[in-house]
Structure formats: C-alpha cells, structure tokens
Amino acid sequence: MNTTRFTRDHEWVRPEGDVAVIGITDYAQSQLGDVVYVELPEIGRTVEQGKEAAVVESAKAASEVYAPVSGEIVAVNDAIVGDPAKVNADAMGEGWFIKIRLANPTELDAMMDEAAYQEFVAEQH
C-alpha cells in the first residue's frame, strides 16, 4: 500500500517508521521550472508544522517549502544542493529534501492520499 501523503502546498510526505521523508511533488517542480537553488535547514533543528523549512528556487521564481509535519530534522539531502536539477528529474525519489522525526504522527491523518492529491491538482487548472 502506498503510504505517501500530500499537502495543499504541494509537498509529499513518506513515513518510514518514526521518520518522514519529505519533498516537493512532481507537479510543484513542473510549475517551478528548472530548479537552480535549494536551501536546506540544519540537522537537529526542530520545525513546526506549516512553518518554513527549506527554500527552492528556479531562475524566475522562489518558493518556501513548509514543514508538512512537526519534529526534528534528522537528515537533509545535500545531493540536491550540489545538483538542483535532481529535483526536476526525480522529485518524488532522489530529489527528496529533508527527513523529520515525527513529533506527532497524527498530523499525517489529515493529509491527502495520492488519488485525492491528483484530484486537487486537476482543480488547480
């Protein structure tokens, strides 16, 4: 079963035990265009759901990535800092941003599953 969850800010959250892997969706990267820069938080920082956790930029647009869940940052994907094109090439895989140790796993319950998210994206047009 696919446990990946999605937010209205176009982030995806994939729970792996008590840690969640987080990135931006394929739709988000396509809207942003070629990603040129990614700024990631420090490991060890505690973030609150809905607060700014990272920044992603294309040549002509900048966007904050909001923490979809609360918790401690336990890992960041340095590979996308060195090669931001990875976010465009594989947003849902190699292009992940951060891993957060879940402070409150129930936060995931209110998020969309993939089908609901696709429907949400379709409404954006």
Partner 1 sequence: MRYLPLTDTDRREMLAAIGVPSIDALFADVPAAARHRDLLDLPLAMGEIEVERRLAAMAAKNTSAGAAPCFLGGGAYRHHIPAAVDHLIQRGEFLTSYTPYQPELAQGTLQYLFEFQTQVALLTGMEVANASLYDGATACAEAVAMAGRVTRRDKAVLSGGLNPQYRAVCETYARFAGNALAIQDAAPGGGEDLAGLVDADTACVVVQHPDFYGEIRDYSALAEICHKAGALLVVVVTEILSLGAIRPPGEMGADIVAAEGQSFGNALSFGGPYVGLFASREKFVRQMPGRLVGETVDAEGRRGWVLTLSTREQHIRREKATSNICTNAGLCALAFTIHLALLGEAGLTRLARLNHAIAVAAAEKLVAIPGVQLVNRSFFNEFTLRLPRPAAPVVETLAARGILGGIPVSRFYPGRAELDDLLLVAATEMVTPEDIDRFDAGLREVLR
Partner 2 sequence: MSDWSQALSSRPAMDAPGGMATISGNRGLQIEEKLLFEQDSPGHCGVDLPEPPPFGARLGGLERRGPIGLPGLSEPQIVRHFTRLSQKNYAIDSGLYPLGSCTMKHNPRLNEKMARLPGFADLHPLQPEGTVQGALELVDSLAHWLKVLTGMPAVALSPAAGAHGELCGIMAIRAALEARGDRRGRILVPESAHGTNPATASACGYTIESIPANERGRVDLAALQAKLGPDVAALMLTNPNTCGLFEDEIIEIAAAVHRAGAFFYCDGANFNAIVGRVRPAELGIDALHINLHKTFSTPHGGGGPGSGPVALAAELAPHAPLPWIVHGPEGFALVEHPDGPAARSIGRLKGFHGQMGMFIRALAYMMSHGADGLRQVAEDAVLNANYLRVKLADALSVAFPGICMHEVLFDDRFLKDTGVTTLDFAKALIDEGFHPMTMYFPLVVHGALLIEPTETESKAALDQFVGVLRGLAERAQSIKKGAGDAAFFRAAPQFTPRRRLDETGAARKPVLRWRPEAPASTGSADAPRDAGRNRAPSLVDERS
Is residue 32 within 8 Å of residue 64, measured between CB atoms?
A: no
Under rule CB under 8 A, residue 115 binds partner 2: no
Task: Write the DSSP string, 11-33.
Answer: EEEEEETTEEEEEE-HHHHHHH-
Among 16, 60, 122, 125, binds partner 1 (CB under 8 A): 60
CA distances from 52 to 19, 40, 67, 114, 122 (A): 19, 10, 6, 23, 26
User: Which residues is 24 bridged to in the sheet?
Assistant: 11
- The nearer residue to partner 2, 35 or 100, going by C-beta atoms, is 35
Under rule CB under 8 A, residue 57 binds partner 2: yes
SS3 content of the chain, % helix, strand, coil (to 5): 25, 35, 40
Q: Which does 79 bind (CB under 5 to 8 A by kind): partner 1, partner 2, none?
A: none
CB of 16 to partner 2, least distance (A): 30
Interface stretch with partner 1, choices 21-29, 55-63, 70-78, 86-94 (CB under 8 A): 55-63
Segments in 1-125 forming alpha helices (H):
26-32, 78-82, 85-89, 114-123
Q: Which does 62 bind (CB under 5 to 8 A by kind): partner 2, partner 1, none?
A: partner 1
Total residues contacting partner 2 by CB under 8 A comes to 12
- The nearer residue to partner 1, 37 or 48, going by C-beta atoms, is 37
Under rule CB under 8 A, residue 89 binds partner 2: no
